[in-house]
Amino acid sequence: MKKAISMLVLLIMVFVTACSKTAPGDNTGSNAESANNGKDAYKVVLLIPGTLGDKSFFDAANRGLTKVKEELGAETKVIEMGADQTKWEPTFNDVASQDWDVIISGGSQITELMNATAERYADKKFINYDTDMNEVASNVYAVSYATNEVSFLAGAVSALVSTSTDMPQANPDKKIGFVGGMDIPGINAFLVGYIEGAKYVVPDIKVAISYAGDFANPGKGKELSLLQYRSGVDMIFNVAGGTGLGVFDAAKDQKKYAVGVDSDQSAMMQGTDQEKADLILTSAIKKIDEVIFKAVKEAKEGKLATGSLDVVGLEQNGVGLAENDVYKSLPEKIRTQIEDLKKKLASGEIKVSNAMGMDTAKIEELRRSVKP
């Protein structure tokens, strides 16, 4: 009898325990909910072909990833691959073999590598947030920016500031500057727009042009900029990544003006170096952070269009000038002229040449036409 009762109690305990377990597909239990969240979390990784801290291109991409994490609830990670390109391919392969849903990187220098990796991992989505190459793998979303358009505006601002009697650091010389990271199509797209915008408002403007041959050498950027400022240039457009931070060092040293690139570089200096921030009158912005956020959101929703290059300009709100408090302190006459140019560019009334489709000899001819 006792043995029968013991067996009955055991059967009841087994039955109760079985009923208390969460059935497959039932996420009401706390442990099951935690496991499900881990399984369903959308995983996004950003590979930086360099390092963060450039206050420009890479930092803008990182801001986009932060927004992805905060607003989409994704699991995110940033990997700084450094400047040694021999390390990029193993990193791409390692990351692609893991369980990331979206792999993000940017720059024409990584485009071929990304496409090759994407072809081997067809189940992944890749985002190239900035490239000028038309070759795009079928599972890659690639973006190019109409930098010639926003650089046209930057050139117009620079020429107008340089010739304004209301700007205390401007001199009588009609001479502005440009410091690029390398003499390559992506950088010359900025240059061509800059020259055309400057000449549109001041036809006889001169432009001093220097290439650092490096995107991570602020010392070289400062050296080249000091030479330009001391030659009579009063405004330099920085298109040199981390090297361009040296442009701002030189601007502070010489009490001259500068234009930032990719991000609102004046805003990024606020609170750390106010004097520099006040000398960066505007920046030619690629809205990289917004592009990354939009692309990841669409990928998560299954709506991302991959396999072709998407070009975004002023009309698509993909580029624009930084119109912060420093910019708003410019003479109203200058800001009014820039507003008029923005409308004409967006409507297509003004067409800007694009270095990406321009013969090298023609680019050289344009450079010579504004040589001081």
Q: What is the DSSP string of 116-143?
A: HHHHH-TTSEEEESS-------TTEEEE
pLDDT bucket at 22, cuts 50 / 70 / 90: very low
Fold category of 41-145 in CATH: Rossmann fold (3.40.50)
Q: What is the pLDDT of residues 82-97, one digit of tens each?
A: 989 999 999 999 999 9
SS (H, E, C) 330-369: CCHHHHHHHHHHHHHHHHCCCCCCCHHHCCHHHHHHHHHH
* pLDDT value of residue 27: 29
- Average pLDDT of the segment spanning 98-110: 94
pLDDT higher than threshold 50 for residue 67: yes
Q: Where are the domains of the chain?
A: 41-145, 147-285+331-369
Q: What token pair was written down for 272?
A: 């750390």
d(CA 157, CA 281) in angstroms, rounded, equals 9
Ramachandran angles phi, psi of 135, nearest 5°? -70, 120
Answer yes or no: are the C-beta atoms of 289 and 317 closer than 8 Å. no
Q: What is the pLDDT of residues 206-231, one digit of tens each?
A: 999 999 999 999 999 999 999 999 99
Fold category of 147-285+331-369 in CATH: Rossmann fold (3.40.50)
d(CA 130, CA 187) in angstroms, rounded, equals 12
The β-bridge partners of 96 are: none
* pLDDT value of residue 24: 31
Ramachandran angles phi, psi of 140, nearest 5°? -115, 135
* pLDDT value of residue 55: 78
pLDDT bucket at 19, cuts 50 / 70 / 90: very low
Q: What is the pLDDT of residues 122-175, one digit of tens each?
A: 999 999 999 988 899 999 999 999 999 999 999 999 999 999 999 999 998 999
- In this prediction the pTM is 0.78
